[in-house]
């Protein structure tokens, strides 16, 4: 069942003399109990999309739907919505008030949302769910007395206390030590299995996606360019951008290092927005296709179905075929 | 032939209000000219302290015992004049976080030129040309020379740092987490650049990172640090694929191989946290987190033992001490 849905969402930031389309037409569904990895470089709009899904940013076009109803606009109703969809940030040290104890950090959300029930019991339950056991021992501690992994668990406990349906985690392990990373990712999987929590994990780390995600959405300059099951996208990538990202994530194979800086959303290229950096286009494609890459925008991917936004993958284009019978595109 | 850099039983201790904190505990390591060595470890493992000690950049609260030899000369006993001559000209450091390492109110051309003018490796007239040459080598257009750091992207700033490090033709470059804050694709660009430049000029490179996969692609040899010690050391591929120390195995497993069914929905980590250097466990410092720990691990403080000819690790479960 679709729990959360972005329906053709666009978000523009105004700048002097124009606007920046940070998210430029995104269709995306999230099922209950599903973990979706949203992958891309900085500036691709993944954080803006996450903020929009959280109701922190109103889309200029399209809408976000939770349980098939559009997000409310009234402050109070929006607050109720945010209880269901909780955010976890990259840096737990910055997210925690250094003068608040673990107990206060976890209880803060309960107080803001005026959650009924026994506060200390709810805090203890959330801490235990986040793997901080025995909860009583951690409650009086200050963030400085905790390790990085424990701090991130406190942040997660703060989210869990509100009994959310969805976690949106923005690079949840990027600032943690390598040996601690696996434990936090395992926690996200446990929460999905035990509590049925759905999650959107915003990351540039494809190994993380392989570790925990059911589906992967690859974003480039405000659009989703490839979407599908993690197994398919990560082992049989179709978009040249996904292929390049995967090739630099694995040190063993031949790497495709894209030239140029991370894309700039104030200057979105015409045609396929990836074409100026596209290694497949640079390696030579039939002139008719190359022409389309340079001039013709691609249709949006549909939120649920697997797909790839690339002219080279359009079925009507005849492509040179290699011995295995697959289109030979690298 | 004297080694480019040699650590001999190097121990570095910080004096703190809570008492002495040993950050580096008896490191032996040698780097020959033109060699690339990766130092892997988590926060608090002592890897950055070790790097800073090479150019005597540690705070006054740090005391160093053992020897650190640069081209056979002990860094600890060098005169200030000799040390100044070594810094930048013979050995340079690419610091992590180029955002903060560059002066925000000076144009990058002036910053790249500074070490050359101070060391007299370029005359006033030829400095401009040399700066442009360096920028071209790190893949930045010459017109960016007049830019301020804030006008550059993160990747460009890190390239400027590399240009500065190469300005005086050093024989050793130490790169401390040179790509940590960068995007994957920019990280790949910067690593490729660094590797190519180092190979071209046969510069010795020490690269420090918490990410084994970054080091594997760049460095021929790898040293893994834990709690101030090198716990495993050998050729990169052998260390990663045939890890002899359980800690190395855990680090290697933390970054999964995409497509490997074993790691699908099975993120691997270690229980517990890296130890506090001020309160190290007895015996092997890794034993409280070690999946293979046995009784003797809690009281045997084990040193490195040979795994094979070029590969050694500090674990009691490896062969017999030689």
- pLDDT average per 10 residues of sequence, chain A (330 residues): 93 88 94 95 88 94 95 90 92 92 96 93 96 94 92 96 95 86 94 95 92 96 95 95 89 76 81 92 89 92 88 63 46
Q: Pick from A179, A211, A246: which is nearest to B256 by CB? A: A211
| 8 Å CB contact between B297 and B284 | yes
Closest chain B C-alpha to A94 CA, distance in angstroms: 16
| 8 Å CB contact between B189 and A257 | yes
* Closest chain B CA to residue A260: B186
Measured CA to CA, the distance from residue B18 to residue B262 in angstroms comes to 44
Q: Cβ separation of A189 and B258 shorter than 8 Å?
A: no
Q: What number is the ipTM of this complex? A: 0.83
Phi-psi region of A52 (alpha: psi -120 to 50; beta: other; left: phi over 0): alpha
pLDDT number for residue A279: 92
Q: Chain B contact for A148, CB < 8 A?
A: yes
Q: Chain A contact for B267, CB < 8 A?
A: yes
Measured CA to CA, the distance from residue A111 to residue A109 in angstroms comes to 5
Q: Cβ separation of A179 and B289 shorter than 8 Å?
A: yes
A8: CB partners within 8 A, 6+ apart: A25, A26, A27, A61, A62, A300
Q: Where are the domains of chain B?
A: 5-90+170-313, 98-169
* Closest chain A CA to residue B190: A257
Size of interface A-B (CB pairs under 8 A): 115
Q: Chain A contact for B224, CB < 8 A?
A: no
Q: Cβ separation of A179 and B42 shorter than 8 Å?
A: yes
B196: CB partners within 8 A, 6+ apart: none
Closest chain B C-alpha to A261 CA, distance in angstroms: 7
Q: In what order do the strands lie in the sheet with A198-203?
A: A85-88, A166-170, A198-203, A35-39, A215-220, A223-229, A307-308
Q: Cβ separation of B265 and A212 shorter than 8 Å?
A: yes
* Closest chain A CA to residue B42: A177
Measured CA to CA, the distance from residue A278 to residue A167 in angstroms comes to 33
3-state secondary structure labels for all residues of chain B: CCCCEEEEEEEEEEEECCEEEEEEEEEEEEECCCCEEEEECCCCCCHHHHHHHHCCCCCCCEEEEEEEEECCEEHHHCCHHHHHHHECCCEEEECCCHHHHCCCCCCHHHHHHHHHHHHCCCCHHHHHHHHHHHHHHCCCCHHHHHCCHHHCCHHHHHHHHHHHHHCCCCCEEEEECCCCCCCHHHHHHHHHHHHHHHHHCCCEEEEEECCHHHHHHHCCEEEEEECCEEEEEEEHHHHHHCCCCHHHHHHHHHCCCCCCHHHCCCCCCCCCCCCCCCCCCCCCCCHHHCCCCCHHHHCCCCCCEEEECCEEECCCCCCCCC
Give SS3 for A96. Answer: coil
Choose from A35, A178, A256 for mutation: most chain B CBs within 10 A.
Answer: A178
| 8 Å CB contact between B215 and B40 | yes
Closest chain A C-alpha to B50 CA, distance in angstroms: 19
pLDDT number for residue A322: 45
pLDDT number for residue B42: 87
Confidence (pTM): 0.87
Query: Which option is the CATH number for A2-218: 3.40.225.10, 1.10.3430.10, 3.90.1010.10, 3.40.50.300?
Result: 3.40.50.300
A267: CB partners within 8 A, 6+ apart: none
Choose from A45, A173, A177 for mutation: most chain B CBs within 10 A.
Answer: A177
Q: Where are the domains of chain A?
A: 2-218
Mean pLDDT by 10 residues, chain B (322 residues): 91 92 94 94 89 92 94 91 88 80 91 88 81 87 88 85 89 88 81 87 91 87 95 94 93 87 90 85 92 90 90 86 44
Q: Which residues of B touch A149 (CB under 8 A)?
A: 273
Return the structure tokens found at A228.
């599908």
Q: Cβ separation of B256 and A255 shorter than 8 Å?
A: no
| 8 Å CB contact between A86 and A188 | no
Q: Cβ separation of B273 and A186 shorter than 8 Å?
A: no
Q: Cβ separation of A257 and B250 shorter than 8 Å?
A: no
pLDDT number for residue B1: 65
pLDDT number for residue A153: 95
Closest chain A C-alpha to B172 CA, distance in angstroms: 25
* Closest chain A CA to residue B260: A210
* Closest chain B CA to residue A149: B273
pLDDT number for residue B99: 67
pLDDT number for residue B111: 92
* Closest chain B CA to residue A205: B184
Q: Which residues of A touch B210 (CB under 8 A)?
A: 177-178
pLDDT number for residue A38: 96
The number of CA neighbours under 13 Å toward the Cβ of B82 is 9
Q: Cβ separation of A178 and B212 shorter than 8 Å?
A: yes
Q: How confident is the model over B312-321, as pLDDT tens digits?
A: 999 999 874 4
pLDDT number for residue B98: 63
Phi-psi region of B119 (alpha: psi -120 to 50; beta: other; left: phi over 0): alpha
Return the structure tokens found at B63.
């005391």
Q: Pick from B153, B186, B269: which is nearest to A182 by CB? A: B269
Q: Chain B contact for A201, CB < 8 A?
A: no
- Report which of A33, A24, A27 is spatially closest to residue A1, judged by C-alpha positions: A33
* Closest chain A CA to residue B210: A178
Closest chain A C-alpha to B253 CA, distance in angstroms: 9
Longest dimension (CA), chain A: 69
Angstrom distances, CA of residue B36 to CA of A83, A183, B98, B215: 51, 32, 22, 10
Given CATH 3.30.365.10, say whether it is the number of domain B5-90+170-313: no
Report, in angstroms and rounded to the nearest whole number, the Rg of chain B calculated over CA atoms.
Answer: 20
Q: Which residues of B touch A131 (CB under 8 A)?
A: none
């Amino acid at each position: 069942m679709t729990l959360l849905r972005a329906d053709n969402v666009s978000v523009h930031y105004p700048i002097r003399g124009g606007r920046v389309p940070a998210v430029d037409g995104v269709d995306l569904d999230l099922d209950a109990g599903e973990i979706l990895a949203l992958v891309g470089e900085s500036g691709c709009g993944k954080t803006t999309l996450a903020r929009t899904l959280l109701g922190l940013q109103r889309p200029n076009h399209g809408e976000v739907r939770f349980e098939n109803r559009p997000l409310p606009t009234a402050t109070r109703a929006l607050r109720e919505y945010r209880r269901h969809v909780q955010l976890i940030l990259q840096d737990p040290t910055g997210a925690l008030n250094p003068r608040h104890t673990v107990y206060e950090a976890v209880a803060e959300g309960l107080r803001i949302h005026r959650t009924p029930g026994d506060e200390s019991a709810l805090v203890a339950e959330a801490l235990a769910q986040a793997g901080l056991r025995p909860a009583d021992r951690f409650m009086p501690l200050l963030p400085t007395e905790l390790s990085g992994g424990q701090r991130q668990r406190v942040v997660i406990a703060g989210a869990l206390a509100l009994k959310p349906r969805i976690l949106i985690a923005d690079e949840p392990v990027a600032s943690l030590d390598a040996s601690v990373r696996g434990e936090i990712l395992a926690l996200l999987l446990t929460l999905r299995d035990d509590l049925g929590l759905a999650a959107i994990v915003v990351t540039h780390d494809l190994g993380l996606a392989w570790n925990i995600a059911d589906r992967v959405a690859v974003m480039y300059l405000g659009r989703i360019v490839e979407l599908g099951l993690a197994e398919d996208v990560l082992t049989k990538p179709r978009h040249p951008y996904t292929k390049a990202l995967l090739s630099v994530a694995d040190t063993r194979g031949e790497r495709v290092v894209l030239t140029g800086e991370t894309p700039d959303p104030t200057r979105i290229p015409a045609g396929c927005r990836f074409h100026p950096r596209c290694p497949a286009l640079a390696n030579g494609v039939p002139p008719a296709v190359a022409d389309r890459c340079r001039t013709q925008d691609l249709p949006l991917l549909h939120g649920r179905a697997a797909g790839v936004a690339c002219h080279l993958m359009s079925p009507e284009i005849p492509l040179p075929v290699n011995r295995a019978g697959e289109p030979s595109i690298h | 032939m004297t080694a480019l850099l040699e650590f001999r039983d190097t121990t570095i201790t910080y004096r703190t209000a809570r008492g002495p904190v040993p950050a580096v505990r008896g490191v032996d390591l040698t780097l020959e000219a033109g060699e690339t060595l990766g130092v892997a470890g988590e926060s608090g493992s002592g890897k950055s302290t070790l790097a800073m000690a090479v150019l005597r950049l540690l705070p006054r609260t740090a005391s160093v015992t053992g020897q650190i030899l640069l081209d056979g000369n002990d860094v600890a006993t060098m005169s200030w004049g000799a040390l100044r001559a070594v810094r930048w000209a013979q050995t340079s450091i690419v610091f992590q976080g180029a955002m903060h390492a560059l002066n925000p109110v000076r144009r990058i051309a002036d910053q790249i030129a500074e070490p050359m003018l101070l060391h007299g490796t370029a005359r006033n007239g030829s400095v401009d040309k040399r700066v442009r040459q360096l920028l071209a080598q790190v893949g930045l257009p010459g017109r960016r020379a007049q830019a301020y750091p804030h006008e550059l992207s993160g990747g460009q700033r890190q390239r400027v740092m590399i240009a500065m490090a190469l300005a005086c033709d050093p024989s050793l470059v130490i790169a401390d987490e040179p790509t940590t804050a960068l995007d994957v694709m920019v990280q790949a660009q910067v690593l490729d650049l660094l590797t190519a430049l180092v190979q071209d000029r046969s510069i010795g490179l020490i690269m420090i990172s918490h990410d084994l996969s970054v080091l594997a692609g760049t460095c021929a040899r790898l040293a893994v640090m834990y709690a101030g010690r090198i716990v495993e050391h050998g050729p990169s591929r052998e260390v990663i694929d045939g890890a002899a120390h359980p800690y190395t195995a855990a680090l290697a497993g933390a970054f999964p191989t995409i497509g490997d069914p074993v790691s699908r929905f099975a993120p691997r980590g270690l229980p517990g946290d890296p130890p506090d250097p001020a309160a190290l466990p007895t015996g092997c410092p890794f034993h409280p987190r070690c999946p293979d720990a046995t009784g003797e691990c809690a009281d045997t403080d084990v040193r490195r033992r040979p795994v094979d000819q070029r590969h050694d690790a500090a674990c009691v479960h490896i062969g017999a001490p030689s």
